[in-house]
Structure 1
Amino acid sequence: MCADEIVGISIDTRDIVPSELFVAIKGEQFDGHDFVAQAIEKGAGAALVAKEWAQTASTDLPLIVVDDPLRALERLAVAARARTDAKIVAITGSVGKTSTKEAVRIGLECVGRTHASIRSFNNHWGVPLMLARMPKDTEFGVFEVGMNHANEIRPLVKLIRPHIAVVTNVGAVHLEHFDDVLGIAAAKAEIFEGLEPNGKVLLGADHDCLDALIDRASELEITSIATFGFDAEADISLHNVERVATGMRGDLRIGELTLQIRVPQFGAHAMSNAAAAISVGDALGLDVRVLADAMLEFIAPPGRGQIIKLNLAEGDAMLLDESFNANPVSMRAALGIVQGLSREHRKIGVLGDMLELGDSSPQLHEELEDAVLSAGFSKVILVGPLMDNLAQRLEGKLDTIHHASAEHVADLLTEELAPGDLVMVKGSKGTKLSPVVDQLRGRYS
């Protein structure tokens, strides 16, 4: 028998809450149906399962049987979206989606009840799950939308139906699935197709595909288009940005108003993310000064620029955790952060393969040479077969170690680390550098 009241929705038995509905999603690696019994044991009020599976399941289990649990989750998402009067924001981009989503969330939470995507739940199951979880009394909803291929954003944004669509930037990410960067821009522009009537578009101005995005929005007869970023011609523009002891600071001009904003992160990209959040507030007619003040709480999430103190026996070292993912744009941004950090002692780089770059991959790895040399590293540890291209370019110019995998990198760093060192770790998910960060945290927390 199902619970009298379902209090939420989950697809993961590791974090399920009693009386939640467990949705058995079949993915590439796991089938949620294999965990139905475990979910019920942990207190799930019922499980949403496929008819085919239910025919052989125990009759004692509280089941809701449907043809396809994922399609059923999408219908729950549609119902949740339809019942709320919330103002909805959808965010995509080649780089900075999750960080921008967090900046927007932090800003809007200072104004009203805000529901936002967690972690990087931005794909074909993450978006409907986050929508289905949205409370009826939500005032602001913030959703991240990702893609690897064309035609992936379109169905997701039609579920979200945002009032504001944000594109942070377009870069050479997932190139193996596209002919060129303009193809990526076209795929990102799919986010415009789900806009509510009189919806607004906000575009990061600091990339080469801005005009292509503006043209596509105009083709769709979207009349409210604004830009934000470092470009002096942007509608909402950053000026006088500088690094300070606690992070970044600068001025943001919105019409006749100039705001000083501070972000407790290193790197110019953090200021751009903050500018996006304040631009959202401006588009919603909110007091942008409140959102600007909220950026003081915009701390980098794990894997995206988080700074970790490593407590060594004779002093502290610093770990810059950029391990969540990597592409040429974000890699250069991270290397730029390292370049700007002055250290009395060594800088050590752990750089992993940048994946999904297609035929251009060897060249794009080689082209990191100047940025790596400019960062001021005493040593770099390169991880993955693609990084061999960069290793060959650095030979004789920088103390370089190349490993085929990340398996022994934490041990190597343990042997190397000394008080005062700065270590930056960055690579694509598939390079598995996040466990290296976890191991270092465990050893030196």
Structure 2
Amino acid sequence: MTLWTAADAAAATGGKAQGNWEVTGVSIDSRSLAPGDLFVALKDQRDGHDFVAQALAAGAGAAMVSHLPEGVAADAPLLVVDDVLGALERLGAAGRARGRAKVAAITGSVGKTSAKEMLRAVLEGQGRVHAAEASYNNHWGVPLTLARLPADADFAVIEIGMNRPGEIAPLARLARPHVAMVTTVAAAHLEAFENLDGIAVEKASIFEGLEPGGIAVINGDIETTPILRAAAERAGARIECFGTEPGNSLRLLSVDLHGDATIARAAIGDTVQLFRLATPGRHFAANALAVLGVAGALGADVTLAARALGLWQPPAGRGTREEILLDPVEGLALTLIDDAFNANPTSMAAALEVLETSHPTDRLGRVARGRRIAILGDMLELGPTETALHEALADLPALAAADVVHCVGPRMRVLWERLPAGRQGTWCETAEDLAARVHKLIDAGDVVLVKGSKGSRVSLVVDVVRKLGHPAVD
């Protein structure tokens, strides 16, 4: 189905179209574009103009450029604009304006991608849903998501992130959500902010983009809730708070964590909803409750949404749980919890709680007793307090449930040094070093959590653990 015609794209961007083309999608990557896409030649680490010829050869319906690239015919299907990123923003704004979708925008220090995918899952049975891919939540990801928005979509879910002050509000004004959600405010990106209050102010700026009569869904259990609430009030929003405290309009009544599931009861308005998640995590339950609040605010059936939560699985690297079969003949396996995409003190505590509630299996491997093993990489972008924040992990009650803790990176050294001898595993300067020896550190029956910031590269450890697995024998 046509997404943009040459005339519509030119009118939206103020550019000049060459040819009478139509496109069915929008892409910024020549390696993954689908035939019929509009290839957007953004400048990042590489100049997208260098790949226009390749994109057209791969079947792109047209390319958005600021000049005729080398190796491209003068009569090629192009949309020539003054500035490619600015034109993408205008295309996104036009995509948002022409659609009928109810729009939800999600931000937060932790859990925004998981919440976005939860909301996608619960809405899919109630209409046509358009949502951001992966973590497309920045200055090009948000306009790209909006530019891809089909005009006949019923719902749109937009994730908005930030690295420094002033980034969220412009993206929120571009998305113009009917409902805006803040998952939580935590010590993430502290190197760009003076304190937690500064992060809260930035997160709360999402409400500046709310449509008139919009709804703000905010975490009611955190110390910066007043900052979020004040910003929502200034925006004229109706406010729904979620959490466990009695004053929250969306209130978790109980959360029970099992080996592979979370069972929760929640009061939503005048009704009580029971929902199940197919993965353990108290933090997942809190975000699921907020998602149900957002779904209701968008006009969806909350009871149907609660039932659909069981279909959701964490995105890759954000708490995914899998069995790694080490010996297909004997059926010996371990459990891997892959949470290696990102980390800050709040998400680290949540991941360790999941490990705490996990159940290793005894008498399977060479160690004989199954263990809870934590492999923890550096938490990045925490600013001048990073040493203290890493050291403070030693005081988390859930960490005491880990039988062995291995640490990766110079910042994690302070935690490793505070661990008691019986639980102090290996410390390595780099993830490559630990990945090379991880096969000696884990065993059948173990539950292995791998957690760290993306820049710590602990995902390399995850890759090696997965490669230890074998296909099951029929």
Structure-2-length-normalised TM-score: 0.89
Q: Partners in 1 of 2:421 and 2:441 — Cα distance?
A: 20
Which of residues 267, 270, 292 in structure 2 aligns to 1:278? 292
Alignment match, 1:110: 125
- What amino acid is aligned across from residue 249 of structure 2 in structure 1? D
Partner residue, 1:317: 334
Cα deviations by residue, 1:261-284 (Å, 9 ceiling, x for unpaired): 111111101111211111012223
SS at match of 2:23: coil
Structure 2 contact 259–359 (Cα < 8 Å) conserved:
no
Shift of 1:397: 5.3
Matching of residues 113-128 of structure 1 within 5 Å: 113-128=128-143
Structure 2: gaps of 5 or more residues: 1-17, 363-369
Q: Match of 2:81?
A: 66
For residues 390 and 5 of structure 1, do their structure 2 counterparts lie closer, same or farther at Cα, with a shift above 3 Å needed? same
- Residue 195 of structure 2 is aligned to residue 180 of structure 1: yes
- Given that residues 205 and 228 in structure 1 are in contact (C-alpha distance below 8 angstroms), is that contact kept between their aligned partners in structure 2? yes
Aligned mates of 1:404, 1:101 — CA distance in 2: 34
Corresponding residue of 1:340 = 357
Answer whether contact 2:406 2:416 (CA < 8 A) is retained. Answer: no
**Any conservation in 2 of the 1:128–1:159 contact (CA below 8 Å)?**
yes
C-alpha contact 2:50 2:69 (8 A) present in aligned 1: no
Q: Equivalent residue for 2:15?
A: none
- Please point out which of 262, 267, 280 is paired with 1:253: 267
Hey, what's the Cα distance between the residues in 1 that align with 2:295 and 2:265? Answer: 16
Question: Which segment is superposed worse, 96-105 or 210-219?
Answer: 210-219
Does the CA-based 8 Å contact 2:172-2:206 persist in structure 1?
Answer: yes
The one-letter amino acid paired with 2:409 is G
Asked whether the equivalents of residues 259 and 357 of structure 2 are also in contact (C-alpha less than 8 Å), the reply is: no
1:372–1:390: structure 2 CA closer, same or farther, 3 Å change rule? farther
**Contact map agreement 1:6 1:20 (CA 8 A) in 2:** yes
Structure 1 window deviating more from structure 2 (211-220 vs 116-125): it is 211-220
Where 1:410 maps in the other structure, the secondary structure is helix
The residue correspondences of 1:186-265 to structure 2 (distance < 5 A) are: 186-222=201-237, 224-265=238-279
**What is the deviation of 1:71?**
0.8
**Which residue among 134, 140, 147 is the counterpart of 2:162?**
147
Task: Structure 1: state its 5+ residue gaps.
Answer: none
- Aligned match of 1:82: 97
Name the CA shift for 1:47/1:308 in 2 (closer, same or farther; >3 Å).
Answer: same
Q: 1:41 to 1:419 in 2, by over 3 A?
A: same
Deviations 1:345-392 (A, max 9, x none): 112211111000000000000000122773422322211111112122
Q: CA deviation at 1:218?
A: 1.6
Residues 173-232 of structure 1: CA distance to partner in whole angstroms, max 9, x if unpaired? 11111111000000001101011011110112221111111112222333x101112223
SS at match of 1:402: strand
The count of aligned residue pairs is: 441
1:162-177 matches, cutoff 5 A:
162-177=177-192
**Paired-residue identity, %:** 45
Measured in 1, the distance between the counterparts of 2:411 and 2:194 equals: 21
Q: Which 4+ stretches in 1 moved above 4 angstroms? A: none
Give the secondary structure class of the aligned counterpart of 2:431: coil
Q: Does 1:34 align with 2:59?
A: no
Q: 1:63-95: CA deviations, max 9, x gaps?
A: 322221111111110111111111100000111
Matches within 5 A, 1:409-428: 409-428=434-453
> Residues 103 and 295 of structure 1 are in contact (CA less than 8 Å); yes or no, is this contact kept in structure 2?
yes
The alpha carbon displacement at 1:245 in A equals 4.7
Deviation, 1:255, is: 2.4
SS of the residue 1:317 aligns to: strand
Q: Can you list the C-alpha shifts for 1:276-304, whole angstroms capped at 9, x where unaligned?
A: 11101222333210000000101112111
The alignment's TM-score, normalised by the length of structure 1, stands at 0.95
- 1:245–1:352: structure 2 CA closer, same or farther, 3 Å change rule? closer
Superposed displacement of residue 17, structure 1: 0.5
**Per the alignment, in what secondary structure is the counterpart of residue 407 of structure 1?**
helix
- The answer as to whether partners of 1:373 and 1:398 remain within 8 angstroms in 2 is no
Per the alignment, do residues 101 and 373 of structure 1 end up closer, same or farther by CA in structure 2, a change over 3 Å counting? closer
In structure 2, the partner of 1:4 is: 21
Aligned amino acid, residue 33 of structure 1:
H
CA distance in 2, matches of 1:197, 1:139: 19
Q: Is the 8 A contact 2:114 2:314 kept in 1?
A: yes
Residue-by-residue CA offset, 1:223-245 (whole Å, 9 max, x unaligned):
x1011122232101111211235
The CA distance in 1 between the partners of 2:411 and 2:154, in whole Å, is 46
C-alpha distance 139-43 of structure 1, shift in aligned 2 (>3 A): same
Determine helix, strand or coil for the equivalent of 1:169.
coil
* Residues 356 and 372 in structure 2, CA contact (< 8 A), matched pair in contact too: no
Q: Check conservation: 1:3, 1:19, Cα contact below 8 A.
A: no
Judged with a 3 Å threshold, the aligned counterparts in structure 2 of structure 1 residues 443 and 189 are, in CA distance, closer, same or farther, namely: same
Deviates more, 1:58-67 or 1:327-336: 58-67
Measure how far apart 1:246 and its partner are. 3.9
d(CA) in 1 for partners of 2:421 and 2:440?
23
- Residues 1-30 of structure 1, C-alpha deviation per residue, up to 9 Å, x if partnerless? 767321110001221101211111111x33
CA distance in 1, matches of 2:32, 2:275: 36
CA distance in 1, matches of 2:377, 2:69: 46
Q: Which AA in structure 1 matches 2:393? A: L
Shift of 1:442: 3.1
Deviates more, 1:433-442 or 1:337-346: 433-442
Deviation at 1:150, TM superposition (A): 1.1
